[in-house]
């Protein structure tokens, strides 16, 4: 009985979390919503990824939590809440990775307590009961031991499956776009046994990267970029060159057995609400086929369709002009003059490669841009979750993703602002030099920096890998203002500045992803679905009202059986799971009552 001699009034983080979870679960079990809600702080957030809401949904504060539970608690039947490892304490916040189950599946999550009340709760479905992926202990045998009733080899079965898919056998899901998003989703659907086809217009998986400007490298570091199932090896570069990531995607597609149709474009798609399936006309390397998938996923790039400005004089311009997405690289412009319209990531990358290859290049800055140095961003912005330092400290990709996902969008900027303050301080001289050179800097509407800009508008920044120094040094020339018109051999700005040009690159960004839906299905459906991406933060290019989650991404939309998937490699990895589980549940006929289907406030 020595413990009587010890002080027992000090509650450990483990005890605190265990007590909270036990009482939380007990209240859930008796369907006592009031008691559950009382366990949350007044300012609190419950983010659910498919486990309770069959949606991607954050409910904020006790009233919204109560509303969600009234709608979904009985159907969800949650139980088995427990910690996955020892909780940690930081000031007055106790944090824990948790797991739990529901009637339909098993989930993991993350909990932050303040004063024994929940501040943030994340619940994330990981697998459906009875439909678990076969891996580890349950992986397939491969060889058939004993006499084989099916004498076909693996290769023959694969070939026959390929031959019948889309002809004798219809895919349950059609994924349009085979970049990292479509490929990651295709891999998960394959593992889950959901018949699917990923179609892409390019010749080979990975061409989405290979065909861009030759100097392109990933701007996110390797630890952030792992795909599901198959992490990059330890010798993979921090910033993968575009052709190398292209090869990886091609490799990944093959070894993960993703059903992938290259050289295939979708001509039209129409949903038949009566029978609940799509009719999609595709051109597969010259052959017309009609597909009848139940679910249609647009994974054609979160950046959406290229914005190409219409300007007077474009017809008369005698040089080359193209959008940044079609820029071939500097080789054919050596010794010539280039004007790059725009001052974000692509503009900087393209200007840098042009300058380094002996092109006289001018960047036209139309509005202020947010710049952070890559090293600084890696260290301060991502280092605790996605870095060699994090790996050494025991941070797995799964834990990093859960931590990342556990921060409610409503308050995420509050976590971000101090990081960017630190970056600004660290690189003060760098920013002073840029400003002195006339470059117009910003840090986002609320000084919350790059990641919030990415989530809100997907644009407005450059992760500096060297181009900013070239701007500061005047090696990349700088001009300001809107473009007024083109002449036969120059770009004329609003203030009359005339910039001689053999080449004009429009690094002018992209539209909303529902532009893809307009092209493929029609404007009516595009308008029904509304704007894709952004949080409703009421900041530049992300109008309110507040949404709480990214619009239309990875979750049910106002158009039945139409989904959007995309984003960077991190998002392709992480959110492909939740989209795949939603599709799998529907494929298996598991009830999926959606709580809080988002409303549409903006058309594009």
Binding site for a copy of itself (CB under 8 A): 133-137, 139-148, 151, 153-156, 158, 191, 210, 214-215, 217-218, 222, 229-230, 233-244, 247-248, 250-252, 254-256, 329-330, 352-353, 355-357, 374-375, 388, 391, 465-466, 469-470, 475
Torsion of CA 236, 242, 244, 245, to 10 degrees: 70
How many whole angstroms separate alpha carbon 33 and alpha carbon 356? 63
Instruction: Compute the least distance from the CB of residue 530 to a copy of itself, in Å.
Output: 36
Token pair of 221, please?
């570091």
Give 64 or 250: the residue with its C-beta nearer to a copy of itself. 250
DSSP per-residue letters across 222-233? HHHHPPSS-PPP
Instruction: Compute the least distance from the CB of residue 223 to a copy of itself, in Å.
Output: 10
Instruction: Compute the least distance from the CB of residue 351 to a copy of itself, in Å.
Output: 12
> For residues 278 and 271, is the Cβ–Cβ distance under 8 A?
yes
Closest CA to 190 of 200, 175, 208: 175
Give 2 or 42: the residue with its C-beta nearer to a copy of itself. 2
How many whole angstroms separate alpha carbon 37 and alpha carbon 278? 41
Give 229 or 558: the residue with its C-beta nearer to a copy of itself. 229
Give 41 or 437: the residue with its C-beta nearer to a copy of itself. 437
Instruction: Compute the least distance from the CB of residue 80 to a copy of itself, in Å.
Output: 21
Instruction: Compute the least distance from the CB of residue 233 to a copy of itself, in Å.
Output: 4
How many whole angstroms separate alpha carbon 423 and alpha carbon 376? 6
| Sequence-ordered strand ranges (E) for 469-518 | 477-480, 483-486, 490-493, 498-500, 503-506
How many whole angstroms separate alpha carbon 123 and alpha carbon 55? 11
Instruction: Compute the least distance from the CB of residue 468 to a copy of itself, in Å.
Output: 10
Element (H, E) at 406: helix 397-406
Ramachandran category for residue 53: left, alpha or beta (phi over 0 → left; psi -120 to 50 → alpha): alpha
Give 336 or 352: the residue with its C-beta nearer to a copy of itself. 352
What are the CA-CA distances from residue 452 to residues 205, 360, 579 (Å)?
30, 34, 23
Question: Cα dihedral sign for 124, 128, 133, 139?
Answer: positive
How many whole angstroms separate alpha carbon 181 and alpha carbon 570? 10
Give 153 or 523: the residue with its C-beta nearer to a copy of itself. 153
Instruction: Compute the least distance from the CB of residue 81 to a copy of itself, in Å.
Output: 24
Instruction: Compute the least distance from the CB of residue 157 to a copy of itself, in Å.
Output: 9
Strands 196-199 and 260-261: parallel
Instruction: Compute the least distance from the CB of residue 308 to a copy of itself, in Å.
Output: 25
Closest CA to 83 of 6, 12, 3: 12
Give 309 or 358: the residue with its C-beta nearer to a copy of itself. 358
Give 254 or 318: the residue with its C-beta nearer to a copy of itself. 254
Give 22 or 255: the residue with its C-beta nearer to a copy of itself. 255
How many whole angstroms separate alpha carbon 482 and alpha carbon 366? 5
**At a CB cut-off of 8 Å and minimum separation 6, what does 90 contact?**
none
Instruction: Compute the least distance from the CB of residue 328 to a copy of itself, in Å.
Output: 12
Closest CA to 78 of 19, 131, 26: 26
Give 62 or 373: the residue with its C-beta nearer to a copy of itself. 373
Give 5 or 273: the residue with its C-beta nearer to a copy of itself. 5
Look at residue 99 and give its three-state secondary structure. Answer: strand
Give 237 or 543: the residue with its C-beta nearer to a copy of itself. 237
Instruction: Compute the least distance from the CB of residue 241 to a copy of itself, in Å.
Output: 3
Instruction: Compute the least distance from the CB of residue 508 to a copy of itself, in Å.
Output: 24
Give 24 or 248: the residue with its C-beta nearer to a copy of itself. 248
Which letter does DSSP use for residue 447 in this model? S
DSSP per-residue letters across 208-277? HHHTS-TT-B-SS-HHHHPPSS-PPPTTS-SS-BHHHHHHHHHHHHHHTT--EE-SEEEEEEEEETTTTE
Token pair of 38, please?
């009382």
Instruction: Compute the least distance from the CB of residue 450 to a copy of itself, in Å.
Output: 17
């Amino acid at each position: 009985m020595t413990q009587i001699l010890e002080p027992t009034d000090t509650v450990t983080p483990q005890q605190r979390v265990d007590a909270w979870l036990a009482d939380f679960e007990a209240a859930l079990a008796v369907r006592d919503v009031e008691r559950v809600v009382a366990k949350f702080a007044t300012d609190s957030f419950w983010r659910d990824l498919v486990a309770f809401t069959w949606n991607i949904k954050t409910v904020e504060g006790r009233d919204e939590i109560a509303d969600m539970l009234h709608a979904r608690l009985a159907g969800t039947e949650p139980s088995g809440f427990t910690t996955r490892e020892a909780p940690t304490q930081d000031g007055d916040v106790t944090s824990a990775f948790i797991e739990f189950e529901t009637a339909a599946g098993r989930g993991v999550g993350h909990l932050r307590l303040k004063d024994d009340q929940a501040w943030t709760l994340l619940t994330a479905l990981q697998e459906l009961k009875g439909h678990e992926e076969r891996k580890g202990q349950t992986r397939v045998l491969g060889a058939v031991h004993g006499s084989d009733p099916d004498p076909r080899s693996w290769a023959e079965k694969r070939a026959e499956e390929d031959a019948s898919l889309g002809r004798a056998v219809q895919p349950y899901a059609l994924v349009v776009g085979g970049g990292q998003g479509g490929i990651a989703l295709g891999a998960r659907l394959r593992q889950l046994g959901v018949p699917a086809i990923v179609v892409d217009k390019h010749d080979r998986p990975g061409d989405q990267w290979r065909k861009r400007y030759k100097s392109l490298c990933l701007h996110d570091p390797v630890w952030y970029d792992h795909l599901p199932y198959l992490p990059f090896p330890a010798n993979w570069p921090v910033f993968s060159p575009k052709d190398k990531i292209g090869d990886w995607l091609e490799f990944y597609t093959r070894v993960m057995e993703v059903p992938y149709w290259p050289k295939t474009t979708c001509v039209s798609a129409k949903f038949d609400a009566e029978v609940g399936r799509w009719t999609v006309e595709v051109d597969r390397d010259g052959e017309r086929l009609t597909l009848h998938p139940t679910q249609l996923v647009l994974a054609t790039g979160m950046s959406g369709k290229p914005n190409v400005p219409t300007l007077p004089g474009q017809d008369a311009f005698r040089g080359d002009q193209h959008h940044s997405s079609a820029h071939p690289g500097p080789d054919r412009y050596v010794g010539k003059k280039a004007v790059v319209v725009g001052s974000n990531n692509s503009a900087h990358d393209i200007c840098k490669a042009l300058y380094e290859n002996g092109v006289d290049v001018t960047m036209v800055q139309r509005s202020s841009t947010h710049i952070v140095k890559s090293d600084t961003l890696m260290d301060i912005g991502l280092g605790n979750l996605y870095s060699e330092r994090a790996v050494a400290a025991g941070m797995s990709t799964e834990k990093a993703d859960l931590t990342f996902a556990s921060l409610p969008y409503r308050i995420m900027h509050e976590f971000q602002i101090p990081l960017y303050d630190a970056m600004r301080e660290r690189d003060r001289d760098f920013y002073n030099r840029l400003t002195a050179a006339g470059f117009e800097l910003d840090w986002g509407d609320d000084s919350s920096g790059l990641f919030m800009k990415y989530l809100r508008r997907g644009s407005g920044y450059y992760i500096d890998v060297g181009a900013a120094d070239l701007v500061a040094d005047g090696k990349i020339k700088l001009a300001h203002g809107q473009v007024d018109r083109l002449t036969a051999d120059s770009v004329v700005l609003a203030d009359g500045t005339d910039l001689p040009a053999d080449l004009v690159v429009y690094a002018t960004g992209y539209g909303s992803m529902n532009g893809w839906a307009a092209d493929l299905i029609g404007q009516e459906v595009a308008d029904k679905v509304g704007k894709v991406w952004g949080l409703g933060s009421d900041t530049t290019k992300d109008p309110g009202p507040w949404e709480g989650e990214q619009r239309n991404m990875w979750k049910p939309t106002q158009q039945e059986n139409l989904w959007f998937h995309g984003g960077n490699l991190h998002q392709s990895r992480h959110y492909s799971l939740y989209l795949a589980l939603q599709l799998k549940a529907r494929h298996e006929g598991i009830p999926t009552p959606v709580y809080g289907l988002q409303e549409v406030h903006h058309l594009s």
